[in-house]
Amino acid sequence: MASLLESSWQYMITNFSDFQLSCLGSFIVHESVFFLSGLPFVLLERLGFLTKYKIQAKTNTPAAQLKCIMRLLLYHFCINLPVILVSYPVFKLMGMRSSLPLPPWKEVVSQLIFYFFLEDFVFYWGHRILHTKWLYQHVHSVHHEYATPFGLTSEYAHPAEILFLGFATIVGPAITGPHVLTLWLWISLRVLETVEAHCGYHFPWSPSHFIPLYGGSDFHDYHHRLLYTKSGNYSSTFVHMDWMFGTDNGYRKLKAMKTTEAEAESKQM
């Protein structure tokens, strides 16, 4: 497997420049993972499949789904892609490379873990700031147009928010200068995580059942259902920041209440 990966990578660096792999390659990876992982949830909602796992009974209209997709394509090409191009010199300055040898797996894993926790920390405070009254009304309310998320809504936001919270995603790689392979893995995992958090379904196989501290769809869906002054659950990936600062109190009370009700119903049966 390692030799196959290295030979495939050798082919890429022989036929494409470092700039092409770092910028256009990263954009293609993002778009592919985002739409391939997000579109199935659009179909699930539209066709009414697996409704017993759906968190909210409400569904989005096909027109609302199409509006989200078209706006995302506009923002991805007019905002995300230019940001990637402009960021390239910074990443190169910090040591990013695409050449062989590929980084050892321990280095890749350690960097990815660092990126996730750093991103979650920065995102928490940025997201919490966006829930102050003025910023919510003029910026963050765009993201909350969809009170019932469906995966692709994870990146539906005001252009200012895309730039503001996007900093949380790129700050880790920007300060460490990873190999392009590590960058692609980070982009893929981060996209899969945010799509899952906004998918609107809580499956028995959801990562939150198996990964410690991971919030997932159930944790973040609560954030979308409430008014901005009472929402909480501001973290992007994990739950520890909200727990430390008490911004998940409402969510925890609701979960405790549902558990109590379920236990009472089971006793009556």
Query: pLDDT tens digits, residue range 202-256?
Result: 999 999 999 999 999 999 999 998 877 678 999 999 999 999 999 999 999 988 9
User: From the CA atom positions of the chain, what is the Rg in Å?
Assistant: 20
Contact (Cβ atoms closer than 8 angstroms) between residue 29 and residue 12: no
Give the pLDDT confidence of 137-153 residue by residue, as tens digits.
999 999 999 999 999 99
The DSSP H or E segment spanning 82 is helix 81-93
Contact (Cβ atoms closer than 8 angstroms) between residue 179 and residue 267: no
Amino acid (one-letter) located at 188: S
Residue in 41, 172, 161 with CA at minimum distance from that of residue 108: 172
Where do the domains of the chain lie? Answer: 2-268
pTM: 0.95
CA 254 to chain centre: 24
> Which ranges of the chain have pLDDT less than 50?
none
For residue 73 the two structure tokens come to 């394509």
CA 188 to chain centre: 9
